[in-house]
Structure 1
Amino acid sequence: MKSNNKFLSYDIKNLKGDIMGGFTTSVVALPLALALGVASGAGAKAGLYSAIITGILSTLFGGTPAQVNGPTGAMTVVLIELYEKYGSEALFAAMVLAGVFQILIGVLKLGKYIHLIPRPVIVGFTNGIGCLIFLKMIGYFKESPILALVTIAVMLIFPFITKKVPASLVALIAGTIVGLYFIPSGALVGIIPSGLPKFSIPVFKSSEITDIIQSGFILALLGCIESLLASLVVDEMTKTKHHSNRELIGQGIGNTVAALFGSLIGTGAIVRSVVNVNAGGRTRLSGTLHGLILLVITLKFSPLASKIPLAVLGGILMGTAIQMIQYNATRKITFASKKAGTVIVITTLLTIFADLTIAVAFGTLLSMFYFVMSMGDVYLKKYEVDDRNYDKNIVSYTIEGPLFFGVSHAITSKLEMEVEDADIIVLNLMNMPVIDISGAVSLKNIKQGLEREGKKVILAGVKENMLDMLYAIEVLSEDEKDVSINRIGNALEYAKNLAETV
């Protein structure tokens, strides 16, 4: 897989594909930018300029050249809650902080750790966000239920007819025409302020600072996760490799500037990025062109958007929410592992009824807990010793993998149950690459406990890098050194000699 992050160089062979990608993604982005801007409470203009500013800056400075950036449903859910709770000034202050946090995460090279979030957690919070978007749009649905249902139907059915034309654009046009001429449409988007956005530093109450910082961190975390997920999708499609930390710095730059100019923050958008790549977009030109085309549309044709019914925009987002929920992934993962399915369900519910940070943190911890528990079941393997008649009963076990705090108790318990009839226990550590202090203490407790019962414990295959720790806490003594660092075969011969001579 090749790197595709050169900033200044350009291959003219990509020009046609980049132009097609830019035009196509701008058409896809237009209805979603309008809908998400209105839904957030900041207005249609904030959504449009979010797609323009982040689409240009995050693409130029990011680490995934073929990625298209802009406002997304996942981010907007959190923005809606912030707007409803604190108002617009605190909302924009939190968004500015989110951009700054993303830059810091990238500068500190923490981007690689975002990928450590387990797949079931990602599926769970994506499902939860889909449910939240749907629930948040019920107010717009009530403006004109029939019109909203027509729009949702177009969103869900049209992709089965053709995927060459964006369903959201067809739903926007068809829904607006139906609302204006055939079905009472309810409230409209209304006049969109003309001209370019103005620079503005948010002013908020000092009592809100803690909530703003917390909200900014949540937005930053969500933006990092969603953007890097989109980057992975682009990598897979283009056979390239993104630069995760540069990507987060680019996201942070775009989002900070967008928020300071009264626009929503955005993320790498999976759907728009896929459309771009399928249309031939491969470099930063396509994402930048997408933003410039949206700028022209906004400046020249925004009066037309004022006639769009809110029920249509609500229907577009409801259809988007239904498509966001990962039905197949949920079914397949749950079928493969009930524990992973439990993580998905719990993460989904926490996303809906608590918040994203709690959902991701608890889902990740639960995944780690299940993993650690399963490791305890398989880490200790018993190997048969030949059945010659020795004076003492010999058993041999191998610890497979690292011995750390998470599995040490499970291994201890299993070993204590299985060696009741043994006189000599050979414990092979050859396949144990790492041991932490908790694992070493557990090893000491195992050894001392069994020796108090009159059993002999022989450690074999201890690696040189572990000896200092094991000596320091008295797991091994000097006279055990020669046997401990030898291979299992030598240790078994030593055990057999002991069994015959005792």
Structure 2
Amino acid sequence: MSTFIPKLFTTLKGYNKEQFFSDVTAGIIVAIIALPLSIALGISSGVTPERGLFTAIIAGFIISLLGGSRVLIGGPTGAFMVIVYGIVMQYGLDGLILATMMAGVFLILMGVLKLGNLIKFMPYPITTGFTSGIAVVIFSSQIKDFFGLTIETVPTEFVEKWRVYFENFNTLHMESALIGIIALLIIIFWPKVNKKIPGSLIALIVTTLIVTLGHLDVPTIGSKFGVLSSSFPAPHFPEISIERLQLLLKPAFTIAMLGAIESLLACVVSDGMIGGKHRSNMELVAQGIANIASGLFGGIPATGAIARTAANIKNGGRTPVAGMVHAVVLLLIVLIFMPLAQMIPLASLAAILIIVAYNMSEWREFLGLLSAPKSDVIVLLVTFFLTVAVDLVVAIQFGIILAAFLFVKRMSDVAEVNHLMYEAGEENDLTAEELTEQTKNITIYEINGPFFFGIADKFINTLDEVQYDTQYLIIRMRNVPAMDATAYHGIKRLEKLCKTYKIELLFSGVNEQPYKMMQQDGFIERIGESSFFDSVHEAKAYAEKKLAASKKSA
């Protein structure tokens, strides 16, 4: 039952004053990091900057309060930016809010059904491919604001977007580009000065002062969105109908899947950093509740943020209290300083997201995977290019299907069905002499590896070589850990074939799962338990004894 107990309740046992101060310090620092990121992600997602902050506050607090990780920090992330922008463009803000709340319901169901552990089976080339693809898309979306290009509407399609950029690059605004470059340089080099205070915050302060005091004609949050409100929003239910629910089913499921993958990957990374162990299903339930609450207050989708979680750990955060403090500090900043945010240059926010895209790109891991087996490289590149050129949903779907097919092929290539081969040095095995003594009366075949649909056809084709004047066919299965329905169907076909040609079918070394499958279907009862042996020599000795007896009686 501990599966569904929030980590907060566990970590408060033995909680002391020293840890509290460490958590508070970490929470404040993470809030400072989250402030510019939440604003930038809100704007780039096609909504107002306040909504990015509301998400970090509401979802961030709930994820820490109810989540299954000690240190995970929740909020808006770059991975969602592309999806959210597309939903806003197609279905409007109300559609986004409803899709976010629906995604929350999906996440809760995934947690309740204990699907959290399945996320770890997502192939690494797929996660690297779509993460790198999202990074390229995020970078592409910031070109307009970074260079201050005069473009009415930026297309969502990648190729079309860059075509419009090149056609309008003559509208480059030098002052915006200069501010963007200054912000970029500060973010890159500030950690050499101070690692505690995030460079993104320093970049915002410095560039905002330059633009304000220098009276530069640079687009700002205020010039785009007007006066920002410092009041907290009231709960709002979006319009719900069967038609809208059906329409938003796919976007909502995409948000849920991406949220689950990113949050649980962040949990795994953080576990490695602190030597802990998260509760994946409780985390999914918390993520679901957080997204429902975020949508209720007009926020955008939220999930676990790896970079903010790492900052939390490095600054001493070891319990969910740090994440809750981070949300409270952000709330205070919104209530007190929100109107000042309207002076922030859009080029500075673009610079922050360009750095986010760089950090997300995982280009070293991407290049490293190019030397992996061909099947992994294919999955990586297909997922990457589909993420960039089409969308994330199609990329993940194709990536998973392709990875599954290539895995089946790889397993079927590894698995073998052949005449029993002598293994030198193995105790209690048939000797080379005994193997060569196999006659047309006794034939021995061995299956090596998982016996599943990918090898079932190979099994049937190999057994076509059996001479039908043989009297005993022994199938050695000691190296078969598992068998599926398709492979079992092949076994039953073989049994019928043997019955037709009056061949006695024998099995040796059948493991627990295949044996149980045969037993439940009545196969063992049908051919008799006497046809099953612990070792292949027992089966061969049995066959030889019966052959000798039949010769004697003849």
> Does the alignment reach a TM-score above 0.5?
yes
1:167 aligns with 2:167: no
Alpha-carbon shift at residue 40 of structure 1 (Å): 1.6
Match of 1:387 in 2: 433
Q: Greater CA deviation, 77-86 or 368-377?
A: 368-377
Shift of 1:48: 1.1
Select the residue among 328, 332, 347 that pairs with 1:292. Answer: 328
SS at match of 2:478: coil
Residue of structure 1 in register with 2:13 after alignment: 9
Determine which of 205, 209, 219 is the counterpart of 1:187: 219
Aligned to 2:153: none
Residue equivalent to 1:344:
380
Structure 2 counterpart of 1:119: 124
Separation of aligned partners in 2, 1:425 and 1:386: 19
Counterparts of 1:212-251 in structure 2, within 5 Å, are 212-251=248-287
Aligned to 1:45: 50
Alignment correspondent of 1:353: 389
Q: What TM-score results when the alignment is normalised by the length of structure 1? A: 0.89
Aligned residue for 1:427, secondary structure, equals: strand
Counterpart check, 1:427 vs 2:429: no
Aligned residues: CA RMSD: 3.2
What does residue 457 of structure 2 align with?
Answer: 409
Output the CA distance in 2 between the equivalents of 1:169 and 1:420: 79
Say which of 463, 486, 493 aligns to 2:534.
Answer: 486
Question: What CA distance in whole angstroms lies between the structure 1 residues aligned with 2:527 and 2:93?
Answer: 72
- CA shift for structure 1 position 175: 3.5
Equivalent in the alignment of 1:133: 138
Instruction: Point out the more displaced range, 95-104 or 456-465.
Output: 456-465
Worse-superposed segment, 427-436 or 292-301: 427-436
* TM-score, scaled relative to structure 2: 0.81
Residue 309 of structure 1 is matched in structure 2 by 345
Return the alpha-carbon distance in structure 1 between the equivalents of residues 108 and 409 of structure 2.
37
**Partner SS state of residue 240, structure 1:** coil
Aligned length: 500
Task: Write the distance in 2 (CA, Å) between the matches of 1:164 and 1:499.
Answer: 83
Q: 1:398 is paired with a residue of what secondary structure?
A: strand
Alignment of 1:438 onto 2:486: yes
Deviations 1:420-452 (A, max 9, x none): 899675421123233222111122345666898
Determine helix, strand or coil for the equivalent of 2:537. helix
Establish whether residue 252 from structure 1 lines up as the match of residue 268 from structure 2.
no
Q: 1:153 to 1:397 in 2, by over 3 A?
A: farther
Aligned residue among 147, 153, 162 for 2:179: 147
- What is the aligned partner in structure 1 of residue 299 from structure 2? 263
**C-alpha separation in 2, matches of 1:479 and 1:73:** 60
Report the more deviating stretch, 178-187 or 430-439: 178-187
- Note if contact 1:398-1:427 (Cα within 8 Å) is conserved in structure 2: yes
Q: Secondary structure of 1:87's match?
A: helix
- Alpha-carbon shift at residue 64 of structure 1 (Å): 0.9
Q: Which amino acid aligns with 1:148?
A: G
**Higher mean Cα deviation, 108-117 or 239-248?**
108-117
**Counterpart pick for 1:36 among 16, 41, 57:** 41
Contact 1:130 1:324 in 2 (8 A): yes
Supply the AA of the counterpart residue of 1:78. I
Q: 1:177 to 1:383 in 2, by over 3 A?
A: farther
Seen in structure 2, the aligned counterparts of structure 1 residues 210 and 353 have a Cα distance that, compared at 3 Å, is farther
Partner deviation per Cα, 1:465-485 (whole Å, 9 max, x = no partner): 645754788977856642423
> Do structure 1's residue 96 and structure 2's residue 101 form an aligned pair?
yes
Contact 1:21 1:280 in 2 (8 A): yes
What does the per-residue CA deviation read over 1:260-297, in whole Å, with 9 as the maximum and x for residues that have no partner? 11122311110000110111101111001111111111
**Given residue 116 of structure 1, which amino acid in structure 2 is its aligned partner?**
F
Closer, same or farther: CA 181–342 of 1 in aligned 2, 3 Å: farther
Q: Contact conserved, 2:99 with 2:252, CA < 8 A, in 1?
A: yes
Paired residues of 2:126 and 2:399 also in contact (CA < 8 A)? yes
Deviation at 1:486, TM superposition (A): 3.0
CA distance in structure 2 between the partners assigned to 1:362 and 1:159 by the alignment: 40
The 1:94–1:4 alpha-carbon spacing in structure 2 relative to 1, beyond 3 Å, is: closer
Instruction: Identify if the C-alpha distance between structure 1 residues 114 and 422 changes in structure 2 by more than 3 Å, giving closer, same or farther.
Output: farther
Q: Is the 8 A contact 1:443 1:475 kept in 2?
A: no
Shift of 1:107: 2.4
Deviation at 1:411, TM superposition (A): 4.2
Match of 1:9, as an amino acid?
Answer: K
C-alpha distance in 1 between matches for 2:192 and 2:375? 34
Percent identity between matched residues is: 33
* Unmatched tracts of structure 2, length 5 or more: 149-175, 423-430
1:147 touches 1:183 (CA, 8 Å); kept in 2? no
1:203–1:475 CA distance, 2 compared to 1 (3 A)? closer
Structure 2 letter corresponding to 1:320: V
Corresponding letter in the other structure for 1:392 = T
Take 2:493 and 2:30, find their aligned partners in 1: how far apart are those partners? 62
Cα 1:467–1:302 shift into 2, 3 Å: closer
1:66-94 CA-to-partner distances (Å, cap 9, x unmatched) read 11111100112211111111211111111
3-state SS in 2 of match to 1:55: helix
Alignment of 1:333 onto 2:369:
yes
2:410 corresponds to 1:374: yes
Comparing 97-106 and 243-252, the one that deviates more: 97-106
- Alpha carbons 2:96, 2:300 under 8 Å: kept: no
Q: Distance in 1 between matches of 2:78 and 2:532?
A: 58
**Does the CA-based 8 Å contact 1:426-1:457 persist in structure 2?**
yes
Following TM superposition, by how much is the alpha carbon of 1:233 offset from its aligned partner in structure 2, in angstroms? 1.2
Q: What SS does the aligned partner of 1:28 have? A: helix
